[in-house]
């Protein structure tokens, strides 16, 4: 006896569902088997000393090598500075080396660098909560055009 229209439609959806789950399994396998690069390999690719993310691809997503900026604003909450001794050290001891970097105290703001273009417009915002002072220094040396160091 021939199958009804509903049975054929249900069978088709079951096949599509199975194919979809197989596709998801393949994608998950590819993603989970992706090899992470070592710190040394990241440095060889040009990510010197700033390997803050789990791999170079993630790091490159947030810090684009080809871009330089005319200045920056280091935005942070003055009350939260006690939790960021590395940022305090940079502000107190290193900030004067970068005349185009301004510090702005905004209530409840996590530490971040707001990168500026030639017209002073915001081009990119980079959170620096977990950065060490030397990371901030290196980043600004490499990314801010008119930094004097």
Does the pLDDT value for residue 17 go beyond 50? yes
* 34-38, 75-79, 85-89, 95-99: range with lowest mean pLDDT: 34-38
Q: 138 and 78 share a domain?
A: yes
pLDDT in tens, 42-72: 665 555 555 455 556 666 665 555 678 999 9
Mean pLDDT along residues 24-34: 60
Q: 24 and 90 share a domain?
A: no
* 29-33, 36-40, 87-91, 101-105: range with lowest mean pLDDT: 29-33
- Domain CATH number, residue 93: 3.40.30.50
CA distance readout (Å), 54 to 35, 36, 45, 50, 61: 11, 8, 15, 11, 12
Percent of the chain with pLDDT over 70: 53
Q: Any bridge partners for residue 122, and if so which?
A: 116
Q: pLDDT value at position 109? A: 93
**Cα–Cα dist 145/100, whole Å:** 9
**For residue 149, what pLDDT band results from cuts at 50, 70 and 90?**
very low
Q: 71 and 30 share a domain?
A: no
Q: pLDDT value at position 148? A: 47
Does the pLDDT value for residue 104 go beyond 70? yes
Does the pLDDT value for residue 41 go beyond 80? no
Assigned domain for 72 exists:
yes
Does the pLDDT value for residue 121 go beyond 60? yes
* Residues in the chain, total: 149
Into how many domains does the chain fold? 2
Would residue 46 be called left, alpha or beta, if left means φ above 0 and alpha means ψ between -120 and 50 degrees? left
Q: 139 and 72 share a domain?
A: yes
Q: 73 and 138 share a domain?
A: yes
Residue range(s) defining the domain that contains residue 11: 1-34
Q: pLDDT value at position 110? A: 94
């Amino acid at each position: 006896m021939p199958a009804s229209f509903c049975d054929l439609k249900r069978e088709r959806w079951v096949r599509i569902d199975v194919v979809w789950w197989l596709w998801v399994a393949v994608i998950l396998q590819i993603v989970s088997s992706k090899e992470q690069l070592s710190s040394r390999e990241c440095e060889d690719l040009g990510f010197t000393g700033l390997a803050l993310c789990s791999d170079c691809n993630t790091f490159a997503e947030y810090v684009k090598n080809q871009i330089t900026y005319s200045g920056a604003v280091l935005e942070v909450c003055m009350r939260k500075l006690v939790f960021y001794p590395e940022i305090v050290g940079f502000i107190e001891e290193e900030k004067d080396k970068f005349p185009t970097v301004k510090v702005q105290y905004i209530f409840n703001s996590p530490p971040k660098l707001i990168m500026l273009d030639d017209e002073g417009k915001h081009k990119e915002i980079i959170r620096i909560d977990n950065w060490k002072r030397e990371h901030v220094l290196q980043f600004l040396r490499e990314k801010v055009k008119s930094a004097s160091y």
